[in-house]
Amino acid sequence: MSNMNDSHTKISGTHTFTNGKITGTHTLDWLSACQQLNQLGYPYCVATVLAHAGSVPRASGAKMVISSTEQFDTLGGGHLEYQVIEHARNALNQGNAEMGIVRFALAADLGQCCGGAVQVLFEYFQTDTPHVVIFGAGHVSANLCSILSHLPCRVMVVDSRQEWLDKLASTGVTLQHHPDPQAEISLLPSGSYLVIMTHDHQLDYSLCKAALSEQRFAFVGLIGSQGKKQRFFYRLKEDLADPQWTEQLTCPIGLDTVPGKLPMQVAVSIAGQLIQRFAMDKASEHTEPKESQLALHWQHANEVRKQLREAHHG
């Protein structure tokens, strides 16, 4: 994977978010980190030592915060903390961030000399913030970024041309340079919203084919005319494993009710369509109430505590 050039910079208190990290005058504790990440709109995990037995680095109640690029506060360091961070980031990056409890045996599993065991509760926040990935850093993309940067979503622009990405530095979105943008498709979180508008029609086609083949994105939109749509759909029906997957491609992208062909007009049309999709997808979610989930996890946590105490005193 290529290096990420995250130009997103927002100021909150004494800290800023730049180059993919929160920076400031002092190290954030877990609570301050939560506050900062909430204001920035970035997903994160709070890892809490729920129960412990034997000798452990930190006792029950210790917390740390993990984002996709940083961690704040500590559970005592060592291989335990490494495994906790890895577990949280895997969940955040793969889009399967569900609250859960994981047991770590420090001696048997992690090779630490403490010899105890801990139960860690993983809680994820802001993981439902829409993730928009724009392929192409042209004029429409620049205007679209300026709109989306003010909405509750995360935006990344992927392009093979660093000089065009540099022009978007002031929009406050994540910029990803890659000589082969198609290679980024497999690395994107499931449920992402993809907007394809590169400078190369063949690259557009390759991106559409790769995205539809993955069968895991919330939206795949392509900029173009009706003629481009017909050509692409004809080829995709031949190249995809299932010809019906072409029905998942939105082309031309944007709302018909927003006229005009100027870059900003097209960007407004696309932004409006994305806002509609965000609302539709959120309304269609049918998940168990958070209160019920939390009650079940705390019930499990209490059982775990009891088991650990019995093992410790037995």
Tens-digit pLDDT profile for residues 77-108: 788 888 899 999 988 877 677 889 998 887 65
State the DSSP code for 260. Answer: -
Query: What is the structure's pLDDT at 123?
Result: 94
Task: List helix spans (H) across 155-289.
Answer: 162-166, 201-214, 226-239, 263-283
Q: Both 144 and 274 in a single domain?
A: yes
88: left (phi over 0), alpha (psi -120 to 50) or beta: alpha
Same domain flag for 146 and 251: yes
Same domain, 161 and 279: yes
Report strand pairing: 100-105 vs 71-73.
unpaired
Are 73 and 113 in a shared domain?
yes
C-alpha neighbours within 13 Å on the C-beta side of residue 243: 5
Query: CA 96, CA 122: separation in Å to the nearest integer?
Result: 12
Is the pTM higher than 0.85? The answer reads: no
Please measure the distance between the N-terminal and C-terminal CA atoms of the chain and give it in whole angstroms.
49
Are 117 and 26 found together in one domain? yes
Q: How far apart are CA 122 and CA 40, in angstroms?
A: 21
- Alpha-carbon span 127 to 132, nearest angstrom: 13
Task: Give the integer Cα–Cα distance in Å for 136 and 138.
Answer: 6
Look at the block and give the residue holding tokens 């019906």: 244
What confidence category does residue 295 fall into, taking pLDDT thresholds of 50, 70 and 90?
A: low
Of 17-26, 124-133, 173-182, the one with minimum mean pLDDT is 17-26
308 and 209 belong to one structural domain:
no
CATH code: domain of residue 249: 3.40.50.720
- Measured between alpha carbons, how far is 299 from 40 in angstroms, rounded to an integer? 33
pLDDT at 17 over 70: no
Give the mean model confidence (pLDDT) for residues 293-298. Answer: 56
Q: Is the domain of 198 the same as that of 276?
A: yes
- Per-residue confidence (pLDDT) for residue 77, from 0 to 100: 78
Domain count, the chain: 2
The least confident of 5-14, 39-48, 225-234 is: 5-14
Report pLDDT for 107.
Answer: 65
Task: Note down the domain range covering 16.
Answer: 4-128+287-313
Residue 306 has pLDDT above 50, yes or no: yes
Identify whether residues 135 and 272 lie together within a single domain: yes
Domain check: are 18 and 112 in the same one?
A: yes
Q: Which two tokens stand for residue 151?
A: 């909405």
Single-letter code of the amino acid located at 111: G
Q: What tens digit of pLDDT does each residue of 27-44 get?
A: 688 899 898 888 767 789
41 and 178 fall within a common domain: no
Q: What is the mean pLDDT of residues 7-30?
A: 46
Quote the CA–CA distance of 65 and 56 in Å, as a whole number: 19
Who wins on pLDDT, 248 or 299? 248
pLDDT tens per residue across span 67-84: 877 889 988 878 888 889
Residues 123 and 139 in one domain: no
Q: Same structural domain for residues 183 and 212?
A: yes
